[in-house]
Homo-oligomer: A and B are copies of this chain.
Amino acid sequence: MHLYDVKDRTVVVVDILRATSCMVTAFAHGVECIHPFADLSACKAMKAKGFITSGERDGKKVDGFDRGNSPFEYMGEDVRDKKIAFTTTNGTQAIEKALGAKKIIIGSFLNLSSVIKYLLFGDNNVLIICAGWKGKVNLEDTLFAGAIVEKLRNHIEPDCDAPLAAQYLYNLAKDDMMGFLSNSSHVKRLQRLNIQKDIEFCLTPDQYSIVPVMKDGKLTIT
């Protein structure tokens, strides 16, 4: 990430399991806005301002928070028109690192085609930030990046081999992403938390046709 100047770029932030999948799900169910926080206590403090406090550390819901990091917690009528303060181990850290970008949008398999359309008809200079796990590579975010590269392959000129590697991996995995990921470090970590249903949902493409966009420190859909 430190190798890239985001100033002139459209940045897609990706944390498939599960931050950006939760965010997309929440917006699809009528959430007004999401304020992402890298810092836990700053996020917690938003409760006093009427926000729903949401998130996890090391995959587990934070004590005292209203909600955790499962997309199924963001599907009820009780989130409609609400404001959410969100902090996670990886996803919201990645958003913070992207601050200063020309545009920041939120990507997940759940809104894959909408993200692709947004990029295809938007500015040319794109960076996909795979949140990974504590800064290290994970496969599921890489597969999402690979899906974008595959679908936009006739429209892009990568400036290193990472997009090509992601594309190869996506094509290898696309017919059975769950099986492909079963050996991955993060999926193993999450399986210990009994969230198989979350993982399956987060790997399902095109459930929602929205693109959350960051503006003035908060995410909205327009």
Contact = CB atoms under 8 A, between A and B. Distances in A.
A188 B19 CA distance: 37
A201 to B, nearest CB: 20
B159 A184 contact: no
Task: State which size class the interface on A falls in.
Answer: 20 to 34
B185 A159 contact: yes
B162 A172 contact: no
Contact of A133 (B135, B139, B160, B184): B160
A222 interface: no
A212 interface: no
Contacts of A132: 160
A157 to B, nearest CB: 10
A153 B168 CA distance: 21
A48 interface: no
Contacts of A164: 139, 183-185
Interface in A113-166: 132-139, 142, 158-162, 164-165
Contact of A161 (B3, B135, B137, B158): B137
A90 to B, nearest CB: 12
Contact of A162 (B137, B158, B168, B186): B137
Nearest to A3: B135
